[in-house]
Amino acid sequence: MSDAALDVVEFLLTTSVYSDDRTLDENDLPPSYRRVFWTGGVENGDDDDDSESGRTPAGISRPLSVTTTTAREATDVSRPWEAVSELMFTERDEFSGTITLAQQGMAEKWFAERVDDDRLRENPTLAKHFAEHEEFGETFDVTHEEAREENRPIQADRVWIDGLLEEYFDEEEDEEMLDLVEVRAPEEVDMSLDDLVLTEDQENELDKISKAIEHRDYLSNIGLREIGKLLFVGPPGTGKTSTAQALAQDMDLPFVEVKLSMITSQYLGETAKNVDKTFEVAKRLSPCILFIDEFDFVAKTRSSDEHAALKRAVNTLLKSIDNISLIEDDVLLIGATNHPDQLDDAAWRRFDEIINFPKPDNNMRADILSLITRRMEIDEFDPHLIAEATQGLTGSDLRMVLREAVLEALTEDRTTLTQEDLLNAVEEFEERDTLKNMDMMGGDHDALVAGGDLGKASDGGEPSGHSHDHDHDHDH
């Protein structure tokens, strides 16, 4: 019997059990199932009568009915009825197109014989059902609680996030708001910790915070609250944004990003209100990660004599930060800045952990190079040699170098690169970097002359001497 049949039977069983057992809620359904049945906006916290507001009650209403369409969407099986039509216990109503279990008991037995604990653990509805029925007592070793614990909460689903944003920001005047905040569901974040090379220090700090999140009930019990506000500090391109996103993905949390530069938008009067709303959204989405990039913006606006409304917005922001907590609200706050020197004491004080994002050293650069080339073919590839030639470059720079090398090789219809391609791309990159950094008004125009030591200007700060090899001729 095919996997497709198993997938469809699981869906049929789940919908049937869920329809009958009123103690189950949406967090008992696997995300791919509940997405199919989710309707309406998000319910308001206050219990005003739905008939009056005209809003469809948000959520999943019973009974869940399975049609070819819902089954296809939930299971990814392209012809769901064909997959199960030969089983004795399935039935289809030709008229309505619904698929049902004629013999639920048979379906349960059939299913139980074919799945293991790991699979059952991904379905809290069935985990509960099988745990409660004695005839399956010995078959599985999975509790309902375990399965629920592992199932992603509804708050992380895109449908739920959209409903929430609509509820908070549906008025015309709030259109600006969507520039200030961006919310991504964990499945929409395409960055994982496996894609990043971290320093030992960074890894330890991230471990610490994952543990703190896991044990936040304990921390709350012992009264430890000053935890869960991180500041990522380091030059552009060192992986601050990527690491925050990767954390969201690895911990299956929604990622709420505040773009502070948007605070200066024209409707400043609205901004303070919108900052408030953003934090409200984060609390409703919790557990989640709230990422505030360009944090130095805060200090800058406080020290200069900016528009009063701007200052008000920034003060609201600081107050909101004070009032949000990992322990009480399940919101992990991560700030990031390229300019730590511009932060004042008031800003520093708000974070309980500072994580340094330095420019990568030799070994890290070699590791980054190996990582980002893992799906490429490169003849005579020696990442350590390239690392030597790229002092001062960040992870982001290295990605650009690689992209350049790949595109250059493609102009010769090559999909296998050589070490030489990479070295040429490094040189190309540094020329561009020099041009970018040159002060064109009073700058050193000689540096533009071919053959000058262009590498010099791009050294980003490692004290050790240059080991660039600029001998290769290249003609583009």
Ligand X SMILES: Nc1ncnc2c1ncn2[C@@H]1O[C@H](COP(=O)(O)OP(=O)(O)O)[C@@H](O)[C@H]1O
Binding site for Mg ion (CB under 5 A): 240-241
376 binds, among ligand X, Mg ion, none (CB under 5 to 8 A by kind): none
Distance of closest approach, residue 360 Cβ to ligand X, in angstroms: 6
Look at residue 239 and give the partner it binds from ligand X, Mg ion, none, a contact being a CB closer than 5 to 8 Å depending on partner kind.
ligand X
Find the shortest distance in angstroms from Cβ 363 to ligand X.
12
Q: Which two tokens stand for residue 316?
A: 């609201």
197 interacts with, out of ligand X, Mg ion, none, CB within 5 to 8 A per kind: ligand X
CA distances from 161 to 92, 152, 192, 328, 329 (A): 34, 14, 21, 21, 17
392 binding ligand X? (CB under 6 A): no
Amino acid at 457: A
Q: Does the footprint of ligand X cover residue 241 (CB under 6 A)? A: yes
Pick between residue 8 and residue 196 the one whose CB is nearest to ligand X: 196
Is the CB of 128 or the CB of 229 nearer to ligand X?
Answer: 229
**Among 27, 85, 143, 396, interactor with ligand X by CB under 6 A:** 396
Residue nearest to Mg ion according to CB distances in the complex: 241
DSSP codes of every residue in 54-113: -PPPPB-PSSP--BHHHHHHHH--SSHHHHHTTSTTEEE-TTT-BEEES-HHHHHHHHHT
Residue 419 corresponds to which tokens in the numbers above? 């070490």
Instruction: Verify binding: residue 383, ligand X, rule CB under 6 A.
Output: no
The answer to whether residue 148 forms part of the interface with ligand X (CB under 6 A) is no
Report DSSP letters for 182-209, one per residue: EEE-GGG----GGG----HHHHHHHHHH
Stretch that binds ligand X, among 30-38, 81-89, 203-211, 237-245 (CB under 6 A): 237-245
Q: Is 237 in the site for ligand X (CB under 6 A)?
A: yes
Using an 8 Å Cβ cutoff, are 311 and 273 in contact?
no
Question: Is 289 near ligand X (CB under 6 A)?
Answer: no
Instruction: Verify binding: residue 240, ligand X, rule CB under 6 A.
Output: yes
In this structure, are residues 273 and 279 in contact, taking their beta carbons and an 8 Å threshold? no
- Which does residue 106 touch among Mg ion, ligand X, none (CB within 5 to 8 A, set by kind)? none
Measured from the CB of residue 210, what is the shortest distance to ligand X in angstroms? 18
Tokens of 253: 């949390």
How many CB atoms within 10 Å of residue 22? 8
Minimum CB distance to ligand X, residue 465 (Å): 24
Of positions 263, 368, 454, 457, contacts ligand X by CB under 6 A: 368
Output the six-digit token pair for 301.
Answer: 């606006």
CA distances to 185, 187, 193, 245 from 190, rounded to whole Å, are 10, 7, 10, 8
Residue 152 DSSP code? P
In whole angstroms, how close is the CB of 119 to ligand X at the nearest point? 33
Inter-residue contact 318 to 346 (CB < 8 Å): yes
Structure tokens at 83: 């997959």
Q: Applying CB under 6 A, does 196 fall inside the site for ligand X?
A: yes
- Is the CB of 286 or the CB of 338 nearer to ligand X? 338
Length of the chain: 476
Could you say which of 30, 80, 239, 335 contacts ligand X (CB under 6 A)? 239
C-alpha distances in Å from residue 122, one per residue of 32, 99, 419: 11, 23, 45
Q: What is the DSSP letter of 342?
A: G
CB of residue 460 vs Mg ion: minimum separation in angstroms?
A: 16
Per rule CB under 6 A, is residue 186 in the interface with ligand X? no
Q: Choosing among ligand X, Mg ion, none, which partner's interface includes residue 399 (Cβ < 5 to 8 Å by kind)?
A: ligand X
Tokens at 117, concatenated: 């604990």
Compare residues 209 and 334 and give the one whose CB is closer to ligand X.
Answer: 334
Q: Which is nearer to Mg ion, 89 or 291 (CB)?
A: 291
Q: Which is nearer to ligand X, 368 or 422 (CB)?
A: 368
Residue 286 binding target from Mg ion, ligand X, none, CB below 5 to 8 Å by type: none
Q: What is the pairing mode between strands 255-259 and 90-92?
A: unpaired
Per CB under 6 A, residues contacting ligand X are 196-197, 236-242, 357, 360, 368, 371, 394-396, 399
